């Protein structure tokens, strides 16, 4: 099992990024692969002592990267990009990505991503890219005015995962189409340039987090929590201290009714649903359990409990983040070391791709 995922170094990670993506990355890094935990459970049932505690080979191998090459597909500030790349690295480590367990790096330091993208440009079809909804949304009516990079963005994303023979790619719902494109490219390349028993690329499976992890704005329960929302009150940032978190939750939009005692009662109440969803995601409890406790109570009781839960869980992350983000050298070293591992892991697939295409190396 090989897990690969990337995140754009936009700066300012918030609760939505944490619960929607980063926390899953950490869980995948730390958890046993599904087959092995199943084996472990059966062994426990049978009273056999597991030898797997010390054997690392059943753990999924994780590659997590900052998609800094993707960031140049839109107008950007070069000074901010470098700072954001390090800042995001600090945030990922603070959230629990362990550079010794996972391979953590930025695309730029692994040229194989850009090289493979060029090679895959021979296989990807203009019609496929024209159908990408992210391209259509971002380009709007002005396609001619966009960078070529915005158009070929999904081919780079395909290269990102195919270069490591990824088996699983955790992404948000909005990236599912890009993953399907990666599969189409892999399949066409294998068909055109490889044999069935020696394919060059593995077809990756997307892992989409459950709907519960979709965190909405604190000011509008129908809009995604986003770093580009002009109101800072709409989101909990990983840089927020305890007072800021409590203040934002107290002022979060809600409604005048008490919480229902069953999940169905949240229908048509997007803000209430969002706040309960955040509580569920942070506590690991089900919505039903939470409504069992808070049903019939108003937001005057629920909000302080939610605020305390957030403070308790985010305070250690916040502390590690504030410490690490100051340490430019340590962050550079983490990225350098990760890139070294990633370059080694990417070399065989890149070589096989050149060979399959008949390019003389
Ligand atoms: N496009 C992704 C996003 O905006 C980021 C990304 C780049 C990515 N390359 C990737 C995600 C490869 C998963 C795999 O969220």
- Torsion sign across C-alpha atoms 314, 315, 316, 321: positive
Ligand 1 pocket, 67 CB below 6 A?
Answer: yes
* Residue 38 predicted with pLDDT over 60: no
Least confident of 21-35, 46-60, 152-166, 315-329: 46-60
Ligand 1 pocket, 8 CB below 6 A?
Answer: yes
Strand 205-207 to 61-66 pairing: unpaired
pLDDT tens-digit map of 138-168? 999 999 999 999 999 999 999 999 999 999 9
Q: What is the mean pLDDT of residues 257-279?
A: 96
Q: Which of 188, 224, 253, 303 is catalytic?
A: 224
Nearest CA to ligand 1 atom 15: 7
**CA distance linking residue 336 with residue 185, whole number of Å:** 30
Asked whether the beta carbons of 60 and 33 are under 8 A apart, the reply is: yes
The residue extents of the domains of the chain are 2-214+327-357, 232-322
* Residue 55 predicted with pLDDT over 50: no
What token pair was written down for 166? 């990824």
User: From ligand 1's centre to the CA of 44, what distance in Å?
Assistant: 38
User: From ligand 1's centre to the CA of 182, what distance in Å?
Assistant: 11
pLDDT tens-digit map of 294-325? 999 999 999 999 999 999 999 999 999 999 99
Bridge partners of 2?
Answer: 61
Ligand 1 pocket, 119 CB below 6 A?
Answer: no
Q: Which of 40, 227, 303, 341 is catalytic?
A: 227
Q: What is the mean pLDDT of residues 89-115?
A: 97
**CA distance linking residue 174 with residue 282, whole number of Å:** 22
**CA distance linking residue 221 with residue 225, whole number of Å:** 9
Ligand 1 pocket, 124 CB below 6 A?
Answer: no
Share of the chain above pLDDT 90, in %: 86
* Residue 45 predicted with pLDDT over 70: no
Neighbours of 58 (CB within 10 A): 15
CA dihedral 321, 326, 332, 337 (to 10 degrees): -40
Bridge partners of 5?
Answer: 64
User: From ligand 1's centre to the CA of 6, what distance in Å?
Assistant: 5
Q: Choose among 137, 134, 178, 136: nearest CA to 156.
A: 178
* Fold of domain 2-214+327-357: Rossmann fold (3.40.50)
Ligand 1 pocket, 204 CB below 6 A?
Answer: no
251 is annotated as an active-site residue: no
Residues making up the chain, counted from first to last? 361
Give the helix ranges, DSSP H, for 13-130: 15-17, 23-30, 34-45, 68-71, 78-95, 112-121, 126-130
Q: Is 45 exposed, middle or buried (0-12, 13-18, 19+ CB in 10 A)?
A: exposed
Ligand 1 pocket, 169 CB below 6 A?
Answer: yes
Conformational region of residue 302, where left means phi above 0, alpha means psi within -120 to 50, and beta covers everything else: alpha
What is the pTM for the complete model shown? 0.89
Q: Give the neighbor-by-neighbor strand order of the sheet with 168-170.
A: 103-106, 61-66, 2-7, 168-170, 205-207
Q: How confident is the model at residue 172 (pLDDT cuts 50, 70, 90)?
A: confident
How far from 256 is each of 59, 253, 271, 300, 307, CA to CA, in Å?
A: 48, 10, 11, 10, 19
Average pLDDT value over all residues in the chain: 92
* Residue 43 predicted with pLDDT over 70: no
Output the pLDDT for position 59: 75
Q: Is 309 exposed, middle or buried (0-12, 13-18, 19+ CB in 10 A)?
A: middle
User: From ligand 1's centre to the CA of 360, what distance in Å?
Assistant: 31
224 is annotated as an active-site residue: yes
Nearest CA to ligand 1 atom 9: 157
Ligand 1 pocket, 157 CB below 6 A?
Answer: yes
227 is annotated as an active-site residue: yes
C-alpha of 29 from chain center: 13
Q: How confident is the model at residue 211 (pLDDT cuts 50, 70, 90)?
A: low
Ligand 1 pocket, 154 CB below 6 A?
Answer: no
- Under DSSP, the state recorded for 52 is T
Ligand 1 pocket, 182 CB below 6 A?
Answer: no
E-only strand ranges, 179-338:
205-207
User: From ligand 1's centre to the CA of 316, what distance in Å?
Assistant: 27
**CA distance linking residue 161 with residue 163, whole number of Å:** 6
C-alpha of 120 from chain center: 24
Q: Is 310 exposed, middle or buried (0-12, 13-18, 19+ CB in 10 A)?
A: buried
Helices and strands, counts by H and E, the chain: 15, 5
Domain 232-322 in CATH 1.20.1740.10? The answer is: no
* Residue 48 predicted with pLDDT over 70: no
Among 4, 5, 167, 172, the mutation site with the greatest number of ligand 1 atoms within 8 A of its Cβ is 5
């Amino acid at each position: 099992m090989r897990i690969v995922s990337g995140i754009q170094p936009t700066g300012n990670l918030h609760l939505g990024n944490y619960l929607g993506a980063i926390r899953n990355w950490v869980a995948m890094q730390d958890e046993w692969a599904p087959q092995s935990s199943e084996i472990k459970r059966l062994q426990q049932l049978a009273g056999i002592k597991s030898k797997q505690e010390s054997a690392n080979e059943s753990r999924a191998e994780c590659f997590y990267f900052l998609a800094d090459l993707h960031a140049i597909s839109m107008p950007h500030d070069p000074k901010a990009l470098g700072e954001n790349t390090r800042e995001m690295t600090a945030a990922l480590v603070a959230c629990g990505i362990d550079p010794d367990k996972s391979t953590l790096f930025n695309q730029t330091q692994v040229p194989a991503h850009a090289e493979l993208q060029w090679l895959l440009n021979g296989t990807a079809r203009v019609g496929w890219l024209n159908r990408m909804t992210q391209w259509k949304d971002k380009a709007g009516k002005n396609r001619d005015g966009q960078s070529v990079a915005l158009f070929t963005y999904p081919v780079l994303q395909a290269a990102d995962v195919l270069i490591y023979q990824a088996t699983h790619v955790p992404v948000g719902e909005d990236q599912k189409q890009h993953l399907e494109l990666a599969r189409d490219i892999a399949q066409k390349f294998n068909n055109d340039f490889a044999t069935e028993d020696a394919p060059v690329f593995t077809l990756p499976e997307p892992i989409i987090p459950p709907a519960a992890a979709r965190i909405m704005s604190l000011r509008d329960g129908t809009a995604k929590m986003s770093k580009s929302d002009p109101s800072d009150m709409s989101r909990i940032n990983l840089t927020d201290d305890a007072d800021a978190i409590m203040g934002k939750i107290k002022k979060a939009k809600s409604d005048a009714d008490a919480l229902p005692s069953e999940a169905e009662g949240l229908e048509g109440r997007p803000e209430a649903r969002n706040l309960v969803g955040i509580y569920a995601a942070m506590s690991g409890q089900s919505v039903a359990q939470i409504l069992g406790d808070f049903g019939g109570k108003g937001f005057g009781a629920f909000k302080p409990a939610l605020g305390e839960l957030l403070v308790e869980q985010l305070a250690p992350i916040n502390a590690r983040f504030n410490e690490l983000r100051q340490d430019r050298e340590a962050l550079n070293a983490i990225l350098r070391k990760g890139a070294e591992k990633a370059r080694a892991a990417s070399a065989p697939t890149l070589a096989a791709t050149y060979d399959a295409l008949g390019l003389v190396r």
